[in-house]
Structure 1
Amino acid sequence: MANAEIEAPASGSCALLIIDMITDLDFPGGVEMLPAVGGAAEAIDQLRTKCREAGVPIVYVNDNFGQWHSERSRLVDLSRGTPAEDIVTRLQPHEDDFFVIKPQFSGFYATNLAVLLPKLGARRLILTGISADICILFTAADAHMREYDLWVPSDCIASQDGQRTRWALDIMANSMKAETLPTAELDIAQWMDRSE
């Protein structure tokens, strides 16, 4: 929350993670990803709204892009004038959202995410963002090792090509027991109602 206090436990023991969507897409293959990232951003935005209404905390987990003195507003500012500006404007965090800066692929590696999620009372995670076959996949693996239930909506992730996204989804579904139904087939209320 804005005052850094956690006012209530996560509704349904769930948390929504938005991974690396605060970006300038300034990396090899980034600009080519723009259509897929734009589609994922639209689905993430709709899911984020439903999560907020349901009392599910929203946690941005974002690469620092080598900006070691960065915090959330500086990372948002880095997208200005880039191909990803509209996406970042659409998805920029609200004041009461949580923001975790990561130095590497997994959202758990060298971050406070492993401490934050239990404080939120979250045992079930919804992973969204980019790239499906790298940062989403690595975060999912670390979450699975920590025994979190996972939903990775297939319409809320993107990578450099569809085949890599499908490959990552297959690994997460078969090796990490992740649910991968898109948001058109599973909504936040249904996910929250599922037994653990």
Structure 2
Amino acid sequence: MKNEDLDGNVPDSAPVALLIIDMINDLEFPGAENLLEPTLTAAQHIATLKERSVEAGIPVIYVNDNFGRWRSDFGDLLNHCLANNVRGRPIANLLRPNPADYVVIKPKHSAFYATTLETLLLYMGVKRLILTGISADSCILFSANDAFVRDLELFIPADCVAAEQETYKQDALTYMQRVLKADITPSSALDLASLMA
């Protein structure tokens, strides 16, 4: 790193970051009818974890797919999910970002692929990631793989991820725990103070 900040804008500095992946989502795609209920349940746990994380000084980063809308931005996506009668509206309402939160737009499954996430984490000094969101067996899994090869320690609370089927979620969590050494402790049992130490 040549400088300690990003063009004069020093981001938060913390050993841990909370990633909220693809939760600002209209859920208007094939298969999403099966995803709504488990995602809403996960969203409730994520909202509580986010509140605890902010209190602990852990920065929150929304990493969201642009869903092929190359002329839109995150604000447009959020407004679409909040203003229209879409399946994902209650989730977007529950997890709408705060002004202090970071936003990274991703074009594909992984939070790292063709995004600014790695640079942001580097400047923040992040060594541990808490991954939350959808879907456990695709975007969470791809992001976890990419985090692992970057030597980031992984925490993936089992109650803060969802998939179209419970078996898909459990299979993904088992894989990430075994191969990626991810801690899948439920969010209520995560000791955020020790993660920050």
CA-to-partner distance for each residue in 1:101-140, whole Å, 9 max, x for gaps?
A: 0000000000011111011111100000000000000000
User: Match of 2:3?
Assistant: none
Q: Secondary structure at the match of 1:41?
A: helix
For structure 1, list consecutive stretches of 5 or more residues without a partner in the other structure: none
Are residue 49 (structure 1) and residue 39 (structure 2) matched? Answer: no
Are residue 20 (structure 1) and residue 22 (structure 2) matched? Answer: yes
Note if contact 2:21-2:132 (Cα within 8 Å) is conserved in structure 1: yes
User: Match of 2:129?
Assistant: 125
Alignment of 1:28-67 (within 5 A): 28-67=30-69
Relative to the length of structure 2, the TM-score reads 0.92
For structure 2, list consecutive stretches of 5 or more residues without a partner in the other structure: 1-7
Are residue 169 (structure 1) and residue 173 (structure 2) matched? Answer: yes
Note if contact 1:47-1:188 (Cα within 8 Å) is conserved in structure 2: no
Please report how far the alpha carbon of residue 37 of structure 1 lies from its aligned counterpart in structure 2 after TM superposition.
0.3
Moved over 6 A (4+): none
> Aligned residues, how many?
188
Are residue 112 (structure 1) and residue 116 (structure 2) matched? Answer: yes
**Pick from 68, 71, 74: which aligns with 2:70?**
68
Q: Secondary structure at the match of 1:132?
A: coil
User: Match of 1:77?
Assistant: 79
Distance 2:140 2:192 in 1: 19
Please report how far the alpha carbon of residue 178 of structure 1 lies from its aligned counterpart in structure 2 after TM superposition.
0.5
Q: Secondary structure at the match of 2:68?
A: coil
Alignment of 1:135-150 (within 5 A): 135-150=139-154
Note if contact 1:20-1:130 (Cα within 8 Å) is conserved in structure 2: yes
Distance 1:103 1:159 in 2: 20
Q: Secondary structure at the match of 1:179?
A: coil
| RMSD of aligned alpha carbons | 1.3
Please report how far the alpha carbon of residue 189 of structure 1 lies from its aligned counterpart in structure 2 after TM superposition.
2.3
**Pick from 149, 164, 188: which aligns with 1:160?**
164
Please report how far the alpha carbon of residue 7 of structure 1 lies from its aligned counterpart in structure 2 after TM superposition.
4.8
Distance 1:184 1:86 in 2: 22
Note closer, same or farther for the CA distance 1:164–1:76 as it changes in structure 2 (3 Å cut): same
What percentage of residue pairs aligned between the two structures are identical? 44
Q: Secondary structure at the match of 2:167?
A: helix
Note if contact 1:19-1:129 (Cα within 8 Å) is conserved in structure 2: yes
Letter in 1 for 2:87: P
134-143 or 116-125: which moved more? 116-125
**Pick from 95, 100, 107: which aligns with 1:96?**
100
Please report how far the alpha carbon of residue 68 of structure 1 lies from its aligned counterpart in structure 2 after TM superposition.
0.6
